[in-house]
Structure 1
């Protein structure tokens, strides 16, 4: 990197303190231009910032020498008062000194390119900035600390060990090597293949922690879905009326349950309709429900005998919520519960207007989310990109272990390609466009 960049590292707006970061080869000269005598590296010093004969602010200044900095370059931070005019005056001064405003994620990209972070750790930095829940914070912090990278590196090392045996059999067939040296690689590859299978089976857990566990409220009009949503989030998030078809679009509301981010969606009532707008709402409801991690089929318990038939879309693990249970006929509820419990649904009775009942419902959902997202091990993937590369590696391994893989040269090439797929996750090898997509999601100043 030949240019020096700058950017505010704190959000815009009125605040007690704002931080502006600088990184690049001209850092020291810029600091000296603004404050005169530069502070000792890694020591905070109170300095008066001046530029163009004007005093800008009194600030804490920190300086870091390469490579002992976040970016691996000479860098500095100016901790100034958080007023908008102060920050803008400092940014204007830095620009006047020839520095360039950083692009989104450019500080972290420089850290990656200078070997301070690998790509998986860099993505963890972005996730840590965006973390809204305790679970997201823990997952992102583990990723920044290298939990993902260490697992990928271990798998890569196992592949390289197996590859060494295969290549020895290919390159030195006449040497005094142990018998069936190539065959000795297969047990290790089978073990690794099983680990990748387990990782891929668990791949959704990391995504759900990061993006949110999706819960869809589905059912017929006027079953009480909007009332249930409002009770769960403890505010009037959805309009509730006696008119069927009031909800015509998907209403998503974020919620934190058991320390995990959850997205609860109130959907349009499922019914046949000639109204084009309502029909589109029904289509969107079905689409959202299809992708949901948990679906709550809400049924009007007072009219349970005549309730809309639960269609073929019902799947094992869905919940059936018999709403208005406080005014419904007990025998009808008993029959419905017996019928749908036998179909693999969890059946709950509820009065959505009851504070106590809604508290029990939140507790039940919290327990379900915690069971679904907690795990003994750190998830092997937290992004779609990771999952794609794991599937790619598993595909090469499967071929290496197949009948095609009995040809040692072909098996060696597949093992080599599997290792390369894992290297792409941490950024050992990755095309420029992938790096661009990863770092473009960052905020400016990070």
Structure 2
């Protein structure tokens, strides 16, 4: 493979900038810049020099094959965090034939070298993109290999079941114990149950990863935009007494006690005054229908029954202007009732998140669904068909961790990685 390099720390001015070099021959390249580094995984204080003199003073480490993140020989140059130094060292590496890495290329090499499987890489990508504590915890479970360990356990069930079925086929004319077929189905039932648990928890995990959506809906002048601004603690939506001011959907994403939640300010629900407002109202209805939760906001507590779904919240607005009715209420002017409203929303989503699976990507749930469907077998099926079903389930597990069919996903996955990873 080519020798590659990239800045592993965020670009710009800082205390330290780290340049990572990977590929066989990385140590030799670095030693031409800084001098000898006898032992792997030891830090050396070295001077980086070129023909013009001293470039920087750096802390340098190197890692041998099989001891680095990528699995290839790797060097890290810990430089002073000045962009001009990073650029100069980059030019010096390029002069030695080391090219700038592509996005995610270090992680791709870790996958090729067997240091990580595809599910762990997806978890790493989620970890790098995590904005909230719940996203961090979910991503860390996958990136640390929890799903991979589950897949290995499921594989062992299939191996045991497959061996028993193959024995019944190979020795059909001999005295095969009656309990063998029963054990096969017990193993497949366990396999089926454990996969179904992950599949059932996929929706919650996917929402944790991508974030929940809360649509604020109601009639014109109900205070929807004012509520959005109050949640944001800044003006993100235009507030006006003129009905129909909000026509497009305005989104606000916040960290709600560790959960990523997007609030949607929508057009007032009424008979449209013109064609543009009609488009806005239709968009509001469509987006509200697909949201995870709806706040039905109005000064009178009226709700739109056509959009009402379980867990929805009927909230009285403008409680500072009139009598407060029993239930949830909020004043966007004073902030009264806002904390209670946010706490209620969090309670709804925390319950939904309680049984979140480890899997959180479409690719993963599709692989598990295929594996589960493959073992829908019965005792009256020929042993040869049962054996083939088990083999098909094993293939789907291989697809889950990227042992086969990974090429279809690599470019998509790595396109979201930064260049230094």
TM-score interval, smaller chain: over 0.9
Change (3 A) 1:163 1:328: farther
312, 328, 334: which one aligns with 1:348: 328
Aligned to 2:361: 383
- Which structure 1 segments of 5+ residues have no match? 335-346
Q: Distance in 2 between matches of 1:406 and 1:270?
A: 57
Q: Distance in 2 between matches of 1:236 and 1:24?
A: 50
* C-alpha displacement of 1:430: 2.2
Alignment of 1:85-164 (within 5 A): 85-164=84-163
Counterpart secondary structure, 1:206: helix
Aligned to 1:197: 196
Aligned to 1:182: 181
Does the CA-based 8 Å contact 1:252-1:264 persist in structure 2? yes
- State which drifts further: 121-130 or 280-289: 280-289
Alignment of 1:217-296 (within 5 A): 217-296=216-295
* C-alpha displacement of 1:135: 1.5
- State which drifts further: 423-432 or 17-26: 423-432
Does the CA-based 8 Å contact 1:252-1:266 persist in structure 2? yes
Alignment of 1:15-26 (within 5 A): 15-26=14-25
Does the CA-based 8 Å contact 2:328-2:337 persist in structure 1? no
Alignment of 1:314-393 (within 5 A): 314-328=308-322, 333=325, 348-375=328-355, 379-393=357-371
Does the CA-based 8 Å contact 1:112-1:118 persist in structure 2? yes
Aligned to 1:215: 214
Aligned to 1:73: 72
- For the aligned residues, what is the CA RMSD? 2.0
Q: Distance in 2 between matches of 1:354 and 1:233?
A: 14
* C-alpha displacement of 1:79: 1.0
Aligned to 2:384: 409
Q: Distance in 1 between matches of 2:51 and 2:360?
A: 48
* C-alpha displacement of 1:326: 4.1
Aligned to 2:396: 421
Aligned to 1:339: none
* C-alpha displacement of 1:184: 2.9
- State which drifts further: 416-425 or 19-28: 416-425
Q: Distance in 1 between matches of 2:347 and 2:77?
A: 45
Q: Distance in 1 between matches of 2:54 and 2:171?
A: 74
Note the alpha carbon deviations across 1:236-277, whole angstroms, 9 max, x for none: 221211111211111111111121111111112223325333
Aligned to 1:312: 306
- Which structure 2 segments of 5+ residues have no match? none
Note the alpha carbon deviations across 1:183-206, whole angstroms, 9 max, x for none: 431122123222222221110121
Does residue 443 of structure 1 match 2:418? yes
TM-score, normalised via structure 2 length? 0.94
Q: Distance in 2 between matches of 1:372 and 1:270?
A: 28
